[in-house]
Structure 1
């Protein structure tokens, strides 16, 4: 099949990782981890790495944990221009450096975005990269003799900002929604409520979903925790698998203590030919889409993820296939609920023989912050090359089931096509119902969804409820002993409560 020479192809992928207990542990900085992954991606092209590096005209990076929140501490220091620091270690000076917003969907979104720029002639050879060294940062944070990762480098930088306003607001923060685990706990329990499952049955289902991933993580040399675990291990709460936020024990939560980097090289076919990249390294993006959800509290079904289903459906339709035609996949697995949503929509089971992850999943391979799906893309490209003509799928999730990017990959040549995401987003924004929210709630109410913060000094219940009077939705917290006991030890879904509005948020008690 003849395709336009401006068609984008992925030609190189690379990963890098180290663990604190490795014999050769070097305490690499985030810049060094990303650069090591980029060097691996250059070598993966199968052509002259130096020549290809010199042709890079854009370095595009995801954010590390320490630069994902304004004024966040960086105990070991940081670069003032992460993409250019990576470029300097590669010995290149690209015309453009980009630092993206926060969001786990970022790697797939960026690949789609810059593939389109290549088609339009705005770029030719693009390096996507990112990393996290949270394990090293925590290891040395209080040490007297610690490495210094500080770096100041001049040059252009397109800093797109944090983008936290897309899924963080004052109302949620003052009610304890200050981390991903508690927010996903609310969404998870909302799905359980819809299905009518007991706490024990739902915990078993979560463990059954994730246990097969541990087998893949155990064999992946880049895994942060390469340990195979049984369903029973994942579902048993004990000292080594303590509760973090209901309904999650530790082993069902994305592992953020990682030292990992990943990189992807994408270029035009014209550039690939000019640089001598063999065609057996070329992988095409057959389908792609990016969608965003409603504001968290306005979603009609808190446990559903229609944006992810729409993005996945669009990517598959672009590729002209169904999910049965996918040979391998990686579903973003920070917590079970986003995986369950894709499984629910497309009839997948926990024991699907294809597997639901290519890496080993975020709780086991590692949840490298905003850059996890760069690792998934690297594995998807390798999978597509190993089985010419077959399709691999990457589903990347961001925020609190807030943003979803999907990609379908194959070595089979295909022309570049724009997706219909803007049109589909407009339809969703204009037709999707929104639940009314009362910020200062008062009176009789019912618990719709909940979580319990075991990670706070005082065990605290977090509640999404509905006022009995008008059905509006609200957020509240509780330290009421009887209500917290019900939330921790029994099942509070549908429980009758009284909510009162205070100067700093709403509080609930049993009635």
Structure 2
């Protein structure tokens, strides 16, 4: 490694922390406390002989759920300067403090961005840290208790804002399917019908994908739900595995009730040597690429994400490896379709012995908000150190397959004389999306969402060169949605109250 350029970026430390309610050592830590502890663990993981906090010049705080969207509240308050709040806990005072935008892709993309900053000589030691404590928050609220997690910290902050623009169609919001837990089923049902499966059989398809994930989660000490489950348990709707939106039962959707934090520390080779970080701690960033999609209803095929395929393809190309060279993989698994999208596109085997998760996946390990892929990268680094010369791939998804970032890691050196981070831009929309419509259309997909007053069926249909969304609460129409193939059926749509279109079958 002696011939590497001084500005070559390397990951020198990773850290993960977690706690589960009622277990020994449970401390009711706030998100900032968890993030600070994760960064402290990452510094310790580097085994440096000199102080890393004092040398830290850049710190990125991953945006919490409570600061990401209006549907999440912060009943206990939150830090107004997240990166500075985390830095204070480890005794650091970085010159640059960044609060990142929303998206599960962001930690993976940030590795590329910070590695490029280091390669260009604009940074020597940088870190990414984030955490969620939604499990503790909800437990306290259920007991009628409160805490004060508000925090004011002085110092400069580059707040990039939530960055929610372009993640969802306005009509999806009006019809109640903008949140990923309701939007993803619409994509999933396109794939299901193309496979010729009914809802029950497709739940089995999802169970077959995710059952091996639960085995990994059960062995991971940081998992929020460390329980191995069978295909049947995941596929069968029960009181415990209640329907959340067709075709998803509760057990196969991302679990946001977690108390988890993770951090990643990167350095230039010269700085790693100056700080006395042993070379056996170094893991090289061989490539990072990211790409974005237009909102779901405007895409050419709603069950596919060419952006994810492009990001992984470019990452493999820049790293100079193929799927056959990758030993360990973590594909972002908030729901099944982001994993199926890549398995289908690359012709991969669902039952590949390498497996598709390093953590246990978001429904089982836990969906630690926008910070999940920091945990995946931490696991990838551990695997690379344990098998020197091997390659690990991490794929990170944001929004409703809205944006994707991928990274390749190895202890093998990577030449950063030219940047290995490539941002591929955004794919252009293929369809106009109409907020209101009156006339006939052709159905493409649907979901059914249970509610206190009954079920709501939501359909996405094609009207010429445009798409339109519409709802129904008519029990017979909802039953018909479940009863057979929907794609290609003619529907009548008219504008209803509060900007919601309504539909019925012709």
TM-score bucket of the superposed structures, by smaller chain: over 0.9
Gapped regions of structure 2 (runs ≥ 5): none
Q: Judging changes above 3 Å, is the alpha-carbon distance between structure 1 residues 420 and 124 closer, same or farther for their aligned structure 2 residues?
A: closer
User: What is the aligned partner in structure 2 of residue 139 from structure 1?
Assistant: 139
User: What is the aligned partner in structure 2 of residue 508 from structure 1?
Assistant: 503
Task: Quote the offset at 1:156 in angstroms.
Answer: 0.8
State the number of aligned residues.
503
> Does the CA-based 8 Å contact 2:441-2:493 persist in structure 1?
yes
- Could you tell me how far apart the structure 1 residues matched to 2:143 and 2:207 are? 37
User: What is the aligned partner in structure 1 of residue 22 from structure 2?
Assistant: 21
* Secondary structure at the counterpart of residue 165 of structure 2: helix
Task: Quote the offset at 1:70 in angstroms.
Answer: 4.8
Counterparts in 2 of 1:304-315, with a 5 A limit? 304-315=304-315
Task: Quote the offset at 1:484 in angstroms.
Answer: 1.4
Task: Quote the offset at 1:150 in angstroms.
Answer: 1.3
> Does the CA-based 8 Å contact 1:314-1:420 persist in structure 2?
no
Asked if 1:461 is matched to 2:457, the reply is yes
- Could you tell me how far apart the structure 1 residues matched to 2:469 and 2:489 are? 15
- Could you tell me how far apart the structure 2 residues matched to 1:262 and 1:457 are? 40
User: What is the aligned partner in structure 2 of residue 11 from structure 1?
Assistant: 12
Counterparts in 2 of 1:264-413, with a 5 A limit? 264-413=264-413
* Secondary structure at the counterpart of residue 222 of structure 2: coil
User: What is the aligned partner in structure 2 of residue 208 from structure 1?
Assistant: 208
Task: Quote the offset at 1:203 in angstroms.
Answer: 1.4
- Could you tell me how far apart the structure 1 residues matched to 2:377 and 2:311 are? 17
Task: Quote the offset at 1:353 in angstroms.
Answer: 0.7
User: What is the aligned partner in structure 1 of residue 245 from structure 2?
Assistant: 245
Q: Judging changes above 3 Å, is the alpha-carbon distance between structure 1 residues 419 and 475 closer, same or farther for their aligned structure 2 residues?
A: farther
- Could you tell me how far apart the structure 2 residues matched to 1:93 and 1:489 are? 60
- Could you tell me how far apart the structure 1 residues matched to 2:154 and 2:230 are? 50
- Could you tell me how far apart the structure 2 residues matched to 1:309 and 1:235 are? 27
> Does the CA-based 8 Å contact 2:166-2:294 persist in structure 1?
no
What are the superposed Cα offsets for residues 212-265 of structure 1, whole Å, 9 maximum, x if unpaired? 000000000000000000001000110010100111001110001000000000
- Could you tell me how far apart the structure 1 residues matched to 2:238 and 2:85 are? 43
- Could you tell me how far apart the structure 2 residues matched to 1:261 and 1:455 are? 33
What are the superposed Cα offsets for residues 431-454 of structure 1, whole Å, 9 maximum, x if unpaired? xx6123333211222220111112
User: What is the aligned partner in structure 1 of residue 108 from structure 2?
Assistant: 108
> Does the CA-based 8 Å contact 2:373-2:396 persist in structure 1?
yes
What are the superposed Cα offsets for residues 166-189 of structure 1, whole Å, 9 maximum, x if unpaired? 203432210112421110001111
- The alignment's TM-score, normalised by the length of structure 1, stands at 0.95
Of 208-217 and 412-421, deviating more is 412-421
* Secondary structure at the counterpart of residue 437 of structure 1: strand
* Secondary structure at the counterpart of residue 366 of structure 1: coil
- Could you tell me how far apart the structure 2 residues matched to 1:261 and 1:177 are? 29
> Does the CA-based 8 Å contact 1:314-1:419 persist in structure 2?
no
- Could you tell me how far apart the structure 2 residues matched to 1:456 and 1:337 are? 27
Q: Aligned match of 2:441 in 429, 445, 460?
A: 445
Asked if 1:498 is matched to 2:492, the reply is yes
The alignment yields a C-alpha RMSD, in angstroms, of 1.7
Task: Quote the offset at 1:146 in angstroms.
Answer: 2.6
> Does the CA-based 8 Å contact 1:105-1:370 persist in structure 2?
yes
Q: Judging changes above 3 Å, is the alpha-carbon distance between structure 1 residues 226 and 311 closer, same or farther for their aligned structure 2 residues?
A: same
